[in-house]
Chains A and B, each alone.
Chain A
Amino acid sequence: MTPPIGEIWVYLSASPLLGLTVTLLAYQTAHWLYVRSGQRPLANPVLIAVAMLATLLWLTGTAYETYFAGAQFVHFLLGPATVALAVPLYTQFKRVRSMLLPISAGLLAGSLTAIISAVLIARLFGADLATQASLAPKSVTTPIAMGIAEQIGGLPSLTAVLVIFTGVLGAIVGGRIFRLAGVSDPAICGFSLGVASHGIGTARAFQQDEQRGAFAALAMGLNGLLTALLLPVFAGWLIQ
């Protein structure tokens, strides 16, 4: 006798298999759409996959924690993938060494701009303290940003979401902004994308070419470090 469908659902919703499978399927569909659109930045695969999954969770009344029990296996790979960024960084090391001054100056300027402008604009439009603190580390990669948010009175899980939308936005507008600003050096474009939009900007940069990708990866690592060191020092003064 076949069990009723409800029983199968009870089994599936308690197992990590479903969360993991739908994450991969949603991303594959989103990536397929992205390629089909001719890699248009607006068809960002993260954005589309998140929209599909959020709708699915809402329709099935599934709690995020239940979904994450499966999706955490994908989330975990962020660690080894961050370590793997050392490889493209090594292959571009010569170019990096020849650009030490622009890299340090750009990093400091970009890092401070990202933090201060995010908090001040949010405050101007009436965001509360927890939202301001969650926004402050929005340009650095998820695990670093969540740690900082916790330290300065933000909500780490909200920060994770804001970080990802910052990444998506940067990947969407980056190319257009660089054209408007008259910046064409792939190393500078890649680095700026990495400072503003961490890993998602880096993913977009890698899709263009390896030099952009390597500089974005470098910027992501350096901005993570710098923000982790700087932000806790002046967060109390900035967020009011």
Chain B
Amino acid sequence: MLSALSLLLVCQLCGEVVVRWLALPVPGPVAGMLLLFLLLLLREGPGEELRTTSQNLLKHLSLLFVPAGTGIVVHLGRIGEQWLALLLSLLLSTVLTLLITAWVMQWCAGRKA
């Protein structure tokens, strides 16, 4: 557990450093994810410890979005004024994105098969 957490933090730290150093438009944690992925390719798979730690962390991934989501209280004024535009934009755009991504992928996968 402890060594797996350290590994995750070290990857994130390296990711942050690389991103800042090369001025990449990517957030540090995403670079850290790529780094860990390359490491796993080299080591041919995660050990038992990393596997269980990441599983536990990802099991409650939604919890981690709660503090930022609660930030809605700061923007109630703007949301109240433009609620219709926001609601329709979020809802329709999300549905469209789901549909178009899935259809394009299915079409490409079908053509290849």
Task: Check B25–A228 contact: CB distance below 8 A.
Answer: yes
Tell yes or no: A153 within 8 A of B by CB. Answer: no
Extra contacts besides A90-B46, A114-B97, A142-B68 (20): CB < 8 Å: A46-B65, A50-B66, A80-B8, A82-B30, A84-B53, A84-B54, A84-B57, A88-B58, A113-B97, A117-B92, A121-B88, A122-B85, A123-B85, A135-B86, A138-B90, A139-B93, A165-B90, A189-B102, A221-B30, A225-B30
Question: From residue A49, how far is it (CB to closest CB) to chain B in Å?
Answer: 5
Contact partners of B18 in chain A: CB under 8 A: none
Tell yes or no: B80 within 8 A of A by CB. Answer: no
Q: Which A190-209 residues have a C-beta within 8 angstroms of B?
A: 191-193, 195-197, 199-200, 202-204, 206
Task: Check A144–B94 contact: CB distance below 8 A.
Answer: no
Task: Check B54–A87 contact: CB distance below 8 A.
Answer: yes
Task: Check B73–A117 contact: CB distance below 8 A.
Answer: no
Which single residue of chain A is at the shortest CB-CB distance from B39?
A86
Q: Which of B11, B71, B84, B85 contacts A157 (CB 8 A)?
A: B71
Q: Chain B interface residue count: which class? A: 35 or more
A235 to B108, CA, bound (A): 29
A201 to B111, CA, bound (A): 27
Task: Check B70–A50 contact: CB distance below 8 A.
Answer: yes
Binding site for A on B (CB under 8 A): 5, 8-9, 11-12, 15, 25-30, 32-37, 39-41, 45-46, 50-51, 53-55, 57-75, 78, 82, 84-86, 88-106, 108-109, 112
